[in-house]
Amino acid sequence: MNARQRDENPAGIHLPLDPLPGHTSRGRLERVLRRGEFAVTTELNPPDSA
């Protein structure tokens, strides 16, 4: 494995990631941000209040 952390569950991309020490989420976004990488998020549907 390379120096980057795995951002995919080897059992399937639809499955949650293994928890990491000190992380509050099992998602990819927290991992990307903690590594100092740039991340873009988007919402496909507007909120109900829009």
8 Å CB contact between 9 and 16 = yes
| Distance in angstroms between the alpha carbons of the first and the last residue of the chain | 45
Q: What is the pLDDT of residue 37?
A: 92
Helices (H) and strands (E) in the chain, counts: 1, 0
Which tens digit of pLDDT belongs to each residue from 8-34?
778 887 887 888 888 888 888 888 898
Q: What is the pLDDT of residue 50?
A: 62
Number of domains into which the chain is organized: 1
Domain encompassing residue 23: 1-50
- The answer, yes or no, to whether residue 38 has pLDDT greater than 90, is yes
Q: What is this structure's pTM?
A: 0.59
